[in-house]
Amino acid sequence: MGLQMPHPFLIGGKLSLYKKIRSLGVEDDATVTFSYEDGAEVFHFNETHVETAMSQTGFATTLAEAVADGFLYKNGNEILDEMREEELLTDYDRGDESFIEFIAEVIENEHWNYCWFEHSTEKYDHKRGYTELSAEFAVPLSSLKNETYPLPGWKASVRTPNGNLTLER
């Protein structure tokens, strides 16, 4: 029994997302859409349903992790760009190791003024309901080439020659 070398496209014993998609005949310039949604039971009559859903689900932190770390941070993204343009990051103390937490706070405090994510509320009656929060990023497949496990917990969708493929991860 000799030494076995890992397959060159395997990462941690699994085929990388990039290689999985490429193996289906998808070209590097194809668009991969990452989407995330979560929600919570809320009281909507007091107009705090979005904030309640964010605090119960950790949605702002999940979104902050996506835009402030990994390949979306390295390649740039509209949310972080807008935060910089609107000078929402000026209070961040560079070198402080809580950038993701800072971004999550900005999302929680400023989301009404920007379109960083979608939200909808199903109203059960005059005060109770369910609020769903969702975010989406479209990126070229080529940006995933060197990524081990991009956006864990997010769905990845891509159009293949045989139809649309959605991977829940």
pTM for the whole structure: 0.86
Query: Given this model, what pLDDT does residue 1 score?
Result: 42
Strand partners for 160: 163
Give the CA dihedral 96, 101, 136, 46, nearest 10 degrees.
Answer: -150
Q: From first to last of the 169 residues of the chain, give the pLDDT tens digit.
A: 443 434 444 444 568 899 999 999 999 999 999 999 999 999 999 999 999 999 999 999 999 999 999 889 988 899 999 999 999 999 998 877 799 999 999 999 999 999 999 999 999 999 999 999 999 999 999 999 999 889 999 999 999 999 999 998 7
